[in-house]
Amino acid sequence: MTKKKSKQIIRILLFLGTIISLYFVPWTIVTAWIKPLPNTVQAQVDKAVDYGFDGIVVCVNKTGNQSEFYTSGYKNRENKIPANPNALFKIASVSKLYNAVAVAKLVSDGKLSLDKTLVDYLPELKDRIEYADKITVKMMVRHRSGIPDYVRTHNYWVHPKENSNEQLALILDLPADFEPDKEYEYSNTNYLLLSRIMNRILGYGTFQYIQKEILTPLNLKHTFGSIQDVNIDDVMSGYYVGYDMDLKTDNVGSILATAEDLSIFIRALNDGSVFRDKKEQEIYSSIYKYEHTGLIPGYQTIAQYHKDIDAVVIQFTNTVNFDGYNWNMSEIMYNRIVKILRKKN
């Protein structure tokens, strides 16, 4: 075979490879990303149905805690109830921000130590969780413990557990994912154990402490610790792609909040007003972050403060799948909203 003919064959193969790869490009995602920005946030939010969401709620909290709301789609798809900015939403892993603040407050008060180990506080787990005598509170807060995530156990979301004992049982006696503080890996089990530690220290529930030390001082009256504490009609319905069932009654251990309540909390977290003093804020800064996302069946949350425009933007979307498509579309929606706000600023 001549050198010239070899080059021709290589070019043909490369061309065919390019054509084949284009077939697998997620064009819906690409199109959503590159389309020109509309002029208003509401015009962008109105594209939620095109993005595959049954409903969306966006809260923009501006300087002085002035909130603007944008909605599209449905609060309840079956009954055609429009999306409501005052609906309660399961904020999933965003709940960890409240728990991390609670940890910082207890450390500041000398009731909890970041350097004490899991065994120091929960000695019954010594032989049930690998390295329990070396995993510190700080490692758990920062997801550097190596404790396996119960959510990632086999088929967890097919039959999710409704209480912490059942959730914890899923990972007991399993090998650690890595040695303590050697790596980072997000694990919901860390915060399950932190809540258990705080319950034991306090002698009452962690969310009761969160209410007393965080929610009440900020006048947040629409944030709740459990689906059991609310009127179910106030909760935005949640859907998983391919299933008709409304998931709002599922008790998955999430805090529920309105978009406005969450926005006020995120602003207070970032401007420091959720903390009693500088010491408390410095402790928090050493252990956790100031923004978060949340994802559980039926519910996606993005909660961030944007310093350049002095705005907190909260986005709730109520249609989920775990193959990444809906999450990608949610992030695109969010990023485009922030770009519009920056242009208007």
| pLDDT score of 26 more than 70 | no
Does the reported pTM lie above 0.95? no
pLDDT digits (tens, 9 = 90+) for 152-173: 999 999 889 989 999 999 999 9
Confidence class for position 344, pLDDT limits 50, 70, 90: confident
Confidence class for position 342, pLDDT limits 50, 70, 90: very high
Residue 274 and residue 265 in contact, taking contact as beta carbons nearer than 8 Å: yes
Which amino acid would we find at residue 69?
F
First-residue to last-residue Cα distance in the chain: 64
**Residue owning tokens 């970041």:** 114
| pLDDT score of 17 more than 50 | no
Query: How many Cα atoms within 13 Å fall on the side-chain side of residue 106?
Result: 24
Instruction: Report, as an integer, the average pLDDT of 253-278.
Output: 97
DSSP reduced 3-state for 327: helix
Q: Estimate to the nearest angstrom the gap between the alpha carbon of 81 and the chain centroid.
A: 25
By C-alpha distance, which of 15, 139, 142, 92 is closest to 253?
92
Confidence class for position 9, pLDDT limits 50, 70, 90: low
Q: 306 — phi, psi (to 5°)?
A: -115, 105
pLDDT digits (tens, 9 = 90+) for 46-103: 999 999 999 999 999 999 989 999 999 999 999 999 999 999 999 999 999 999 999 9
Confidence class for position 14, pLDDT limits 50, 70, 90: very low
Q: 8 — phi, psi (to 5°)?
A: -65, -40
Q: Which domains does the chain have, with CATH numbers?
A: 39-344 (3.40.710.10)
Q: Estimate to the nearest angstrom the gap between the alpha carbon of 61 and the chain centroid.
A: 18
In the prediction, which pLDDT does 11 show? 52
In the prediction, which pLDDT does 5 show? 57
Residue 91 and residue 303 in contact, taking contact as beta carbons nearer than 8 Å: yes
In the prediction, which pLDDT does 2 show? 59
